[in-house]
A = this chain, B = another copy of it.
Amino acid sequence: MRGIMSTSRTNLREACLSEAIRTIEKDGIEGLSLRKVARRLGVSHQAPYKHFASREHLLAEVVADAFADFAVFLDKRTRSSRTEDELLAMGLAYIEFALKHPLKYRLMFSTTLPDRSEHPVMLEKAERSYLLLKDCLSGLEYAHRPDIDEAMLERDAMLILTLVHGLVTALTSDAMDTMPISEQARESAIAHTLARIGTILGGSVPTEPEMERISEAVRDRIPTGAVTLNLRD
Chain A interface residues toward B at CB < 8 A: 18, 21-22, 24-25, 29-30, 62, 66, 83, 88, 92-93, 95-96, 99-104, 106-107, 109-112, 115-117, 151-152, 155-156, 158-159, 161-163, 165-167, 170, 172, 174-175, 177-178, 183, 185-196, 198-200, 202-203, 206, 210-211, 214-215, 217-219, 221-225, 227-233
Q: By the criterion CB–CB under 8 Å, are A210 and B195 in contact? A: yes
Q: By the criterion CB–CB under 8 Å, are A25 and B217 in contact? A: no
In whole angstroms, how far apart are the Cα atoms of A174 and B112 in the complex? Answer: 12
Q: By the criterion CB–CB under 8 Å, are A194 and B166 in contact? A: no
Q: By the criterion CB–CB under 8 Å, are B163 and A83 in contact? A: no
Contact residues in B for A159 (Cβ distance below 8 Å): 163, 166, 192-193, 196
Contact residues in B for A29 (Cβ distance below 8 Å): 112
Contact residues in B for A24 (Cβ distance below 8 Å): 231
Q: Whole-angstrom distance from the CB of A99 to the nearest CB of chain B? A: 5
Chain B: CB-nearest residue to A175 = B116
Q: By the criterion CB–CB under 8 Å, are B104 and A187 in contact? A: no
In whole angstroms, how far apart are the Cα atoms of A206 and B193 in the complex? Answer: 11
